[in-house]
Amino acid sequence: MEPPSDDADEEVRCRFVGLKYLEDRVLQPAQTLTIWLSCKPEEIGLHTVVIHFDLGDEKIEKVAFLLAEDKVSQSLFSDKPYSRARNDSIRHNQILSLEVPGLAERRPSLVYGDYIFVQLATHSPDDDNRTYQGIIQRVEADEIFLRFDENLHRRHRNKNLYNVSFKYNRVNMRRLYQAILAAEKLGPQFLFPWQSSHRRMIETSSFMPLNAFLNSEQVRSVEMILGCKGAPPYVIYGPPGTGKMMTLAEAILQLYKTRRKARIPVCAPSNNAADHILEKLLDGESIGIRENDIFRLNATTRRYEDVQPEFIQFCFFEDMVFKHCPPLKALLCYKIIASIYTSASLLYSEGIYKGHFSQHFLG
C-alpha cells in the first residue's frame, strides 16, 4: 500500500499507519516489490528497525535506521550538507578482488583505504600500459576487494596479469598531526598541570554507587570527578586488575544519571578496549541506558563480523558495512559515544562544535 499524499484525508492516513502486515505476494522474474515502512516512535532520535522477510525456505533480515525529529529540530538544522551523494563512487557496484599471500600474517599489512597501483604485465601494441590507482574497499583473511577507475573495470578481463604495488594511506597519520596541532592551542597547563590555576568545584550531594563492589578509593575517585575537585585532567591509576575500568564506568554512569545535559565521548586505544568499556556501561542495569542515548562509532575498516551481536544495535552501518557517523542532527543527540582514538576525529569532521561535550573519558 503506497503512503498517502500530503493532502489525503485523516481516514486514509490512519488506514495506512494501521496496516501491520502484508498479504502473500507472488513475484514474477524481474518484478520489484516496493514496501513503505511507517513507524510511530515514542521518543525523538535515531531508531533501529529490524524487518523480517519469510520467503518459505529462506528468511531475510534487514536493518533500517529511522530518524524521528520534531518541527523545532527541523527548523534549526539545514539538510543541505547531507544531500550530497555519499556513494557516487560505488554506484556501478564494480568491485575486483585479489588474493594476497601472507595477508593473514600481516605480510603485507593492508587495511581499508590503502592504495593499490596496477599495470598490465603483458606488453603489446594493443595493451593499455597505463598505471591505474585503486583503493582497498575491504580486507578479508587472504583476499582484498578493490575499486578502480571505471576505465580499468571496463578493460579488465579475468585472464589479465598485472604488476601490483601498494601504498600506505596517510589518513591516520594526518589525524595524529591534527591532534598535535590542536593540542598546542590548549596550552601546557592543561596537558601538564603543575598547580591548580583556579579553584573549581561543583556542589554535589553524596551519591549512591551503582556498582556495589566499589571500594573506598574508587568511590573517592568518582566523587572527585563528579565534583570537579581540582583541575582536569583526572588520572585514574593503578596496577592491572585494580578496577580502573570499573571506576571509569561508574563515573560515566553517574554523570549520565545526574547530569541531564551531559555529553560524553569515551575513547580507547583499540576496538577491544572500546567494546569492553561499552560492555561495562551496558552492565549497569540499575541505570538502563536508553538505546538512543549511546552510539558506538566504528571505522569503516572494521569487519561487521568482529562486533558482538549485542553491540550492533548501537552502531551505524549499511549492508553489513560500517559507516562513520549518522547525520549531524542525530549525532548531537547521543549522550555517550564510544570510539577508538583515531576514529574520534570523525566527530570533528562531521561538524560537532567545540564545547559540545561536557566531559571526556580516555580508557
Q: What are phi and psi of 242, to 5 degrees?
A: -95, 5
Please tell me the pTM assigned to this model.
Answer: 0.61
Strand order in the sheet with 294-296: 294-296, 336-340, 264-268, 361-362
- 14-25 mean pLDDT: 64
Confidence of residue 89 (pLDDT cuts 50, 70, 90): very low
Q: Crossing angle, helix 341-349 and helix 171-184, to 10 degrees?
A: 80
Number of H helices, E strands in the chain: 10, 13
Name the residue with higher pLDDT: 78 or 46.
46
Q: Say whether pLDDT at 86 is over 50.
A: no
Gap between the Cα atoms of 292 and 267, Å rounded: 19
pLDDT-based confidence at residue 337 (cuts at 50, 70, 90): very high
How far are the Cα atoms of 8, 11, 90, 360 from residue 339, in angstroms, in the given order?
Answer: 45, 46, 26, 12
Q: How far is CA 288 from the centre of its chain?
A: 21
pLDDT at 220 over 60: yes
% pLDDT > 90, the chain: 11
Q: What is the pLDDT of residue 60?
A: 73
Asked if 166 and 116 touch (Cβ cutoff 8 Å), the reply is: yes
Question: How high is the pLDDT of residue 342?
Answer: 85
Is the predicted pLDDT of residue 31 greater than 70, yes or no? Answer: yes
Confidence of residue 71 (pLDDT cuts 50, 70, 90): low
pLDDT at 199: 55
DSSP assignment, residue 141?
S
DSSP3 helix / strand / coil % (the chain, rounded to 5): 30, 20, 50
Q: pLDDT for 161-210, tens place per residue?
A: 888 888 887 877 888 888 888 888 877 777 776 665 555 555 556 778 88
Q: For the residues 260-276, what does the mean pLDDT come to?
A: 91
Per-residue pLDDT at 154: 83
pLDDT band at 253 (very low <50, low <70, confident <90, very high): very high
Q: 222 or 126: which carries more pLDDT confidence?
A: 222
Length of the chain: 363
Q: Tell the residue number behind the cell numbers 593540542, with chain if given.
A: 183
Angstrom distance (rounded) from CA 209 to CA 186: 33
The beta strands (E) that lie in the chain are given as: 45-55, 58-68, 96-99, 115-120, 132-139, 143-147, 162-167, 264-268, 294-296, 317-318, 321-322, 336-340, 361-362
- The pLDDT value given to residue 15: 67
pLDDT digit string (tens) for 98-119?
A: 888 888 777 788 887 888 898 8
CA-based nearest residue to 304, from 289, 291, 321: 321
Q: H-type helices in the chain, by residue range?
A: 10-17, 71-76, 150-155, 171-184, 188-191, 216-227, 244-258, 271-282, 328-331, 341-349
Q: Which pLDDT value is given to residue 263?
A: 93
Percent of the chain with pLDDT over 70: 77
Q: State how far the Cα of 240 lies from the Cα of 111, in Å rounded to an integer.
A: 31
Query: Nearest Cα to 112, choosing from 86, 85, 144?
Result: 144
Average pLDDT across the chain, whole number? 78
pLDDT of residue 265: 94
Q: What is the pLDDT of residue 122?
A: 76
Tell me the domains of the chain and their CATH numbers: 10-82 (no CATH), 90-169 (2.40.30), 184-362 (3.40.50)
Tens of pLDDT, residues 286-335: 677 888 899 999 887 787 888 888 898 899 888 777 887 888 888 999 99
